Structure 1
Amino acid sequence: MKQRIIGIDVARALAVIGMIIVNFKVVFGENGQSWVKSFASVFDGKAAATFVVLAGVGLALMTNSAIKNDDQTKLKIARFRILKRAVFLFFVGISYITIWPADILHFYGIYMVIIMVLLTCKERTILISGISIIIAYPIIITFLNYETGWDFDTLDYQYFWTFKGFMRNLFFNGFHPVMPWTAFMLFGYWFGKQDLHNDKFVKKTFWMSTIIFISIQVMSYVSILMLSEGNQEAALEITEILGTDPMPPLPIYMFNGIAIAFALISASILIAKKFANNFIIDALNKTGQLALTFYVAHVIIGMGIIEVINSSKIGNYSIEFSVIYAIVFSLLCILFAVIWRKYYNSGPLEWVMRKLTD
C-alpha cells in the first residue's frame, strides 16, 4: 500500500484558509487600503476552486485500487459510500444556508453524485466531460438569463426556497452552480488517478499549470485594457466576459481555477515531500485533515462571534479587520488541529460523517 500523500492535506489546509479570507471579506466588509484589498482578492474564486479540485483528488485516491484491480465488490462499496457522503454534505450545507447563503457543501453533494456515475470511465472521457461542461455553460447563458433571482447589490437570491428557484440556483446561477463547477471535481478526479508519487509528473504539472495560469491572467488583463480603450464602463462590461471573476463562471475563470489548483496542489506535494518533518508542514497537514470541520466552523463560530458582538456593523467593517480576523481565526484552526490530532484520528465533523457513511 502506497504512503498517504501529505501534500494533498497541506493543499487542503491552504484552500480552506483562502476560503476563510474570501468569505470573511464578503461578510464583514472590504473597504479600506487598496493593497489589502488586492491581497484578499487574490483568493477570490481560486480557493474554492482548489477545494473542489481536491475533493476530486480525494475521490480518486479512495477508489483507485478498486478500479485498477477491477474489484466489483469494492467498487460497489465505494459507490455507496460516495453516495452517502454526498447526501450527508448536501444536508449539512442546506442546514445553515439561511445564515450562510454562499455555502459550497450542498453543491458538493451533487458534484459527487456525478463523479460516482462516471467513476469507472476512461481518463479521456473524464477530461472531455469536464471540458464539455465548461464550454457548454456560455452557450446555456445565451438562452437563460444568468441574473434571474439575483440582487447583486445585496447578494440576496429571490425565490430560493421554491422548487424552480432552488433548482436554478443549484444547477445554473448559484454561487457554485453544478454547471460548470462539477468540472473542477472532474479535473481533480482525473488528476488523482495519475501517479502522484512520481516527482517528474508532479513537477511537470506544476510548471505547466503555473504557465497556463499566468498566461490566462495576462491575456485577460491585456484584452480588457485594449478593448475598453480606457472607458471605465466598457471595462466593467468586458470584465464580465473576459475577466477571471467567479460569477458568472465562464471558461476563462474555470480554466484559470483549474490551473491554479493544479499548481498549488503540485507545489504542496513537492514541498511537503521534501520537508515532511517540518513543523509548519506537519501543522498544515493536520489542518487539512480537519478541512470539513473548519469550513463549517468558520461560518458557525467565526461569523457567529461577530454576529453576537456587533451584528449591526456586519458588512461595514474595514478590509483590514476582515483580513486580520481571518488570519487569526485560521491560526486558531491550525492550533486546534495540532492539539486535536494528538488525541483523535479525525476531526469532529469528519468523525460524524464517517460514522454515518462508512
Structure 2
Amino acid sequence: MSAMSRAEKPDPAGLDDALIRPTSRLVGIDAARGLALIGLMAIHLLPAWNEETGEASWSWRLFSGDSAALFALLAGVGLALTSGGRHPHQGRKMTADRIGLLVRAVLIAAVGLWIGTLMSEDPPAYNILIYYGVFFLLAIPFLHAGPKVLFISAAVFGIVSPLLMQGLLDQLPAWSNYNPTLTTVLTEPGATASQLLLTGTYPALPYMTYLLVGLGLGRLNLRKQEVQIRLLVVGVGVVIFAQAASYFLLYAFGGYQRLLAASSMGEHELEEVLVWGPDSLPTSTVWWLAIATPHTNTPLAIAASLGVSLAVLGALLLIARKAETWLMPLAAMGVMTLTLYTAHLVGLSFEIHYDQPYLWFVINLAVAALFAVAWHRALGQGPLERVVSLSVKGTRRLVLNRSSGASHG
C-alpha cells in the first residue's frame, strides 16, 4: 500500500471512505466494508435459489440482508471517526461536522437518484445509495452523542421502527418505483418519503439501528484487542439469541399456528415466506414480528443482522492484527465502495448478466479488486470519493473560517 501525504488523507465515513495508513487507520474496518460490497454484488448477480431443489442458495444464505446491515454499521463507525472518535468534537467543529454530513448526504443521494434513471421498471438491483442519504440526514442530531446514548437510541429504533412499519403500512401511500429518481421525489413526495423511511428495501428508520450502533462503536477504542474480541463474542451471541428467540416464539409458543390462522396460507406457502420474507410485513397479526427472515426488518431480523455485522467487524479487526497485508486487496475495495458500487449498478443496468451469473460475478469481483488496488496505489482516493471528500472538506472549512471570523469580529 502506497503512503499518502498528510494533505491527501481522506475523511473516513460510510460509502465514500478512503484508506489511510495503518498507523492512522484500522485496515480491518476497510476490509469489512470490502466484504460487504462483495456481499451486495453476490446478491445482485448470483441466483437466490437452487433451480433443482428450490432451496435458498449459499449466496442468499450468506449475504441476504447482512451485507446492507454491515454497510450501515460501518457508515456509523466512519462518522464517529471523522467527528472526533473517542472524543467527539464540540462547538464550531461539531457544527462543521454536521453541515459536512448534510453535504455528504445530499451528494450520495444525488448519485442514487441518477442511478435510478438508468434502471428499468423491474430492476436488476435495488439501489441503497438514496437510502444512505437519508441515513446520514437522520444521523445529524446524534453526531455529538456518546456510546451509551447511541446504543440506547439504536435499541429504540430497532424496537419501535418495526412496530411503525406494521402499524402504519395500511395508511402509508404506495410507492411506484423500486429505485426512486428526482422525478419520483417531485411527483410522489409522500410515497417516496414513506418508502425511504419505512416501506422500502432499506428503510431508514429500522436501519438507523445499525448506523447508531456503528457510531457508538466508533466512540470506543477499536484498536484494543479486548474490544475487538468483545465485538466478535457479542456479535455471535446476538445472532444465536435472535435466531433462537424467533424459533421458540414460532414453534414453542404457538406463533407458527397463529401465522397460519391469520394469513390464510398453507404450510408450504408459509415456509417459503419464512425463508424469503413477505413483500411487506403483513398487518394481520403482531406475530409476524417474531420472524427473523432477512430484509423483513422485524426486531429479531434486525438483531440477527446486527449480530452478524458485529462478528464480522470484530473478526476482521482481529485478523488484521496478524495478517494485515493479506487483507489489503479487500481493504482497497472497501476504501472506494462509492465508486465501485456505482460502477457495479451502472453495469447491471444493461441487464446482460442473467445468462451467466457466476461468470459476471467473477468479472465484477476481479475488475473491482484490480481497479481498487491499482487506483489506490497510484492516486489514493477513488474518483467519486475524492469529489465527495473535497466538497465536504470545503464546506467544513467555510463553516470553521466563518465561525472563527465571527468570534474575532
Q: TM-score range by the shorter chain?
A: 0.7 to 0.9
Q: Does 1:16 align with 2:16?
A: no
Q: Residue in 2 aligned with 1:68?
A: 87
Which deviates more from structure 2 when the two are superposed, residues 90-99 or residues 34-43? Answer: 34-43
Count of residue correspondences: 339
Letter in 2 for 1:49: A
How far is the alpha carbon of 1:33 from its aligned partner? 4.7
CA deviation profile, 1:168-215 (whole Å, cap 9, x unmatched): 111110111122111211111011111101001110220121122133
Q: Does 1:197 align with 2:223?
A: yes
State the distance in 2 between where 1:12 and 1:94 align.
22
Identify the match of residue 267 of structure 2 among 231, 256, 263: 231
Q: Residue in 2 aligned with 1:47?
A: 67
Contact 1:53 1:186 in 2 (8 A): yes
Q: Residue in 2 aligned with 1:106?
A: 130
Q: How high is the TM-score relative to the length of structure 1?
A: 0.84
CA deviation profile, 1:285-335 (whole Å, cap 9, x unmatched): 11111111111111102x145x3x48xxx5xx4xxx434422331122111
SS in 2 for 1:64: coil
Identify the match of residue 112 of structure 2 among 87, 93, 96: 93
Flag the structure with higher helix content: 1
State the distance in 2 between where 1:193 and 1:177 align.
25
Contact 2:109 2:129 in 1 (8 A): yes
Rate the CA distance shift 1:282–1:156 in 2: closer, same or farther, 3 A. Answer: closer
Q: Residue in 2 aligned with 1:56?
A: 76
Letter in 2 for 1:197: R
How far is the alpha carbon of 1:217 from its aligned partner? 2.8
Q: Residue in 2 aligned with 1:326?
A: 361
State the distance in 2 between where 1:149 and 1:193 align.
38
Letter in 1 for 2:306: I
Q: Does 1:290 align with 2:315?
A: no
Q: Residue in 1 aligned with 2:285?
A: none
Q: Residue in 2 aligned with 1:183?
A: 209
How far is the alpha carbon of 1:346 from its aligned partner? 0.6
Rate the CA distance shift 1:82–1:156 in 2: closer, same or farther, 3 A. Answer: closer
Rate the CA distance shift 1:145–1:329 in 2: closer, same or farther, 3 A. Answer: same
Q: Residue in 1 aligned with 2:307?
A: 259
State the distance in 1 between where 2:65 and 2:244 align.
17
Q: Does 1:5 align with 2:31?
A: no
How far is the alpha carbon of 1:17 from its aligned partner? 0.4
State the distance in 2 between where 1:335 and 1:150 align.
38
How far is the alpha carbon of 1:121 from its aligned partner? 2.1
Q: Residue in 1 aligned with 2:16?
A: none
In structure 2, runs of 5+ residues without a counterpart are 1-21, 258-265, 279-287, 394-409
In structure 1, runs of 5+ residues without a counterpart are none
Contact 1:225 1:235 in 2 (8 A): no
Rate the CA distance shift 1:233–1:225 in 2: closer, same or farther, 3 A. Answer: farther
State the distance in 2 between where 1:77 and 1:155 align.
34
Which structure ranks higher in relative contact order (CA pairs < 8 Å, sequence separation ≥ 6)? 1
Identical amino acids, percent of aligned pairs: 25
Q: Does 1:269 align with 2:293?
A: no
Q: Residue in 2 aligned with 1:341?
A: 376
Contact 1:290 1:350 in 2 (8 A): yes
State the distance in 1 between where 2:90 and 2:23 align.
18
Identify the match of residue 389 of structure 2 among 350, 354, 357: 354
How far is the alpha carbon of 1:30 from its aligned partner? 5.0
Q: Residue in 2 aligned with 1:149?
A: 174
Identify the match of residue 236 of structure 2 among 184, 193, 210: 210
Letter in 1 for 2:346: I
CA deviation profile, 1:25-52 (whole Å, cap 9, x unmatched): 47xx756255984311121110010011
Letter in 1 for 2:70: T
CA deviation profile, 1:228-265 (whole Å, cap 9, x unmatched): 47932444566662333344311111111111111111
How far is the alpha carbon of 1:277 from its aligned partner? 2.5
Contact 1:57 1:191 in 2 (8 A): yes
Letter in 1 for 2:203: P
Letter in 2 for 1:97: G
Rate the CA distance shift 1:170–1:258 in 2: closer, same or farther, 3 A. Answer: same
State the distance in 2 between where 1:204 and 1:31 align.
36
Q: How high is the TM-score relative to the length of structure 2?
A: 0.75
How far is the alpha carbon of 1:282 from its aligned partner? 1.2
SS in 2 for 1:4: coil
